[in-house]
Every structure is written in structure tokens, then in C-alpha cells.
Amino acid sequence: MGSPIETLEPAQDLQPGSATQSAPFRRIAVCVDGSEMGETVVLHATMLAAAFGAPLTILRVLETESNADTTPPDPLDWGVRQREARAYLDRLVSLARHRDIDVRAELIQGRAAEQICSWALQHGADLTVLASHGKHGRSEWELSSTARKLVDGVPGSLLLIPADGDRRDVSAVRYRRIMVPLDGSVRAESALPIATRLAIAHEADLLIAHVTPAPELTKVGPLTAQDLDLEQRVIARNERVARSYLDQVRARVSEAGIAARTIIARSGDARTRLARLVRREGVDLIILSAYGRRGPRDTPCGSVAAHLLTHVAAPLLVLRERPRRVMKRLSQEAARRTASARPPAQAVP
């Protein structure tokens, strides 16, 4: 499914402002596939649902074979799979309800990515939570095929949980240190109210990071002494402006009772510098806008967010504006596909 990120309208509840905004997320969908990662993914989803008072739906798609449209599944085998899936969902719902949130589960038949995107469009889910890999295992921080399709096609924001494959202790899932990368743009700052709310809810440290842009000089032959002096003056200027900017942001955040820490990474590639900061600082959650100063293009997220999605071992909350006009069109298409599907989606009581 292609990305619905085309013509964007501002998401009012993601604009910079008070950390006490009421509903940045109105409905959260969490995707599970029957693997052990399900508990971890659901626990992350419940922490956001509890912090923002949003209802949570746990989605499990029973995959069909490529020829399922012409050959129905074996009834006995299908019945066994349904019972196992319902028992799995019941266990996850019970886990989520310990957080005292509104939670339900749905069991759907079809191709996972397509059905999840259709469900999110039809039900107005503005945050989708998923793992980088599921029951088929992971490859070195690359996304599974289903995760990649969801990143490209699901509407609204997404929370990606990396599958480390080693830690199964869900009680260890906590947000102790939250990082927000800023580039000075209003879009990037839209992450601050959400990060502040989560930091308060989890008594977490808030880390605000900025990578100063590297000066680009046309290099035809060796640089002269004047060129090198100009380069150093631009670097010094960028760092001075960055310090002033981050001081203002920190003062604004402190009004909500958060003592944020700021870090400036000197001139370099923002993608690699931020990935190093995540590792060095032991970040538990990264929150950032899908796009920064350059704004949206024809991709589901900008180069920095796309790089972090596959190069960091920490959960990543990517905030995307709602493409309202496009979502309306795709919602109509999804409704037509669902109406003709065999059998229809089944909700778990």
C-alpha cells in the first residue's frame, strides 16, 4: 500500500503549546502477530494510552495465503488458529487492563499490512504501535516487510518498538530518559508537549538535542586561510544561536515543572549524530516529528526519522500530521475493500 502522506493539513493537537493539551491521540491501535514481542508492544502502547487517556485496540491479523481469494482455508485448521489467536488476545487484553485503560481486541483475516491500514483509516486511529520484527525474527535493525509497509502506509503517527530478541522481561519496560531532537522548526517543536506529558507521567528525564548544521563551502581546489576562517566563524555562530535557542526551549518546558537537559552536537550529519546520542545517553524513548525544517515531501517521513527508524535500539515515536483530505478518500476505498472481503473481520469479545 502506498503512503497516504501527500497533501497535509496541520494537526492542531500537535502544535507547540501547553504540555497539558487534552487529546494528542484520540485512538491508539497496537499490532501483534502472536509472537512473544506482543506483550512488550502492548505494554508500550498502554503506557501512552494511560498518559493521554486514549482508548486502545489490540489488532491481530490472521494471515491468509496468496490464493485465499479462490481457495478457502481448511475449516478445521482455521478454527484452531482462531481459538489460539483469541486466547492470545485475551491474555494481552488482561495485561493492558492492569493499567486501567479502555482496551479491546479485534481479530481480522487477510494480509496484515493491508488490513491494519484499512482498520486505522476506518476507525480514525491516529497512533499505531508496532514492533520492528515479529515471529519471523529480525535482521540487523532493518524493518520486517510488514513493519515497512505500515511505516509507509498507515495514517497518522506511529510508535516503533525495536525487537531485541533477548529481553522478555516486560516489567522492565519503563521510560526513564526521553529524547526530543529539535532543528529549530515549528514542526520539530510539536513533539515537546507530548514529550513533556510523558516525562511528567513517568517521572522521566527529558533530553533536548540539537545538531548544528555543518557549513558547506564550495570546494574547487584547496581552501584558503580566509575560507577556513569563514568556516570556523559560521560554526561558532551556529553554536551560539543553538545555545540561545535551546535555553529558550528549556525555559518554556520548565514552566510545566520539567528540568530538561540540553545537548548540542557539533556540526555533522544529524542522523548519525543523533543515533550516537541515543546510545551514549541510554535513551528509553525518542519523540520527534516525521519532518523538520524542510517539511513533508513525497515520503512517509524525512531522512532523519527514516534513519532512526532502522538505526537505533530504542522505541521511536514519530509524529505525523493527519492528511485529512487524503484519509477521507482512502477511507472510502478501504470500506469498499472490507465490504467485499471473505470472511468479514471478527471482533474478539
Determine the 3-state secondary structure of 214 from DSSP.
Answer: coil
Q: Which residues pair with 58 in a beta bridge?
A: 30, 105
Backbone angles phi, psi at 263, to 5 degrees: -135, 135
The confidence band for 332, taking pLDDT boundaries of 50, 70 and 90, is low
Query: Is cis: bond before 73, omega within 30 of 0?
Result: no
The CA distance from 51 to 42, in Å, is 14
Mean pLDDT (whole number) for 195-201: 93
Determine the 3-state secondary structure of 177 from DSSP.
Answer: strand
**Unique residue bearing C-alpha cell 550529519:** 269
pLDDT at residue 199 above 70? yes
Going by C-alpha positions, the residue among 343, 271, 341 that lies closest to residue 306 is: 271
Q: In the chain, what are the domains? A: 12-212+243-348 (3.40.50.12370)
Average pLDDT over the chain, rounded to whole? 81
- Full-model pTM: 0.81
pLDDT at residue 202 above 60? yes
Mean pLDDT (whole number) for 313-317: 94
In terms of pLDDT, which residue wins out, 294 or 70?
A: 294
The CA distance from 2 to 317, in Å, is 21
pLDDT at residue 219 above 90? no
The CA distance from 261 to 176, in Å, is 13
> What percentage of the chain has pLDDT greater than the value 70?
78
pLDDT in tens, 143-158: 888 899 999 989 899 9
pLDDT at residue 9 above 80? no
Mean pLDDT (whole number) for 64-69: 53
Q: Counting beta carbons within 10 angstroms of the beta carbon of residue 175, is it exposed (0 to 12), middle (13 to 18) or buried (19 or more)?
A: buried
Output the nine-digit C-alpha cell for 246. Answer: 535551546
Residue 147: CB partners within 8 Å, gap ≥ 6? 130, 131, 132, 133, 160
Determine the 3-state secondary structure of 101 from DSSP.
Answer: coil
The CA distance from 282 to 305, in Å, is 18
- pLDDT computed for residue 326 by the predictor: 42
Q: Which residues pair with 289 in a beta bridge?
A: 319
In terms of pLDDT, which residue wins out, 266 or 178?
A: 178
The most confident of the ranges 14-23, 161-170, 241-250, 255-264 is 241-250
pLDDT at residue 45 above 50? yes
pLDDT at residue 324 above 50? no
- pLDDT computed for residue 183 by the predictor: 92
The confidence band for 300, taking pLDDT boundaries of 50, 70 and 90, is confident
pLDDT in tens, 250-288: 999 988 888 899 999 987 788 999 999 999 999 999 999
- pLDDT computed for residue 24 by the predictor: 83
The CA distance from 321 to 10, in Å, is 6
In terms of pLDDT, which residue wins out, 17 or 284?
A: 284
The CA distance from 45 to 294, in Å, is 30
Poorest-pLDDT segment among 219-228, 318-327, 334-343: 334-343
Determine the 3-state secondary structure of 193 from DSSP.
Answer: helix
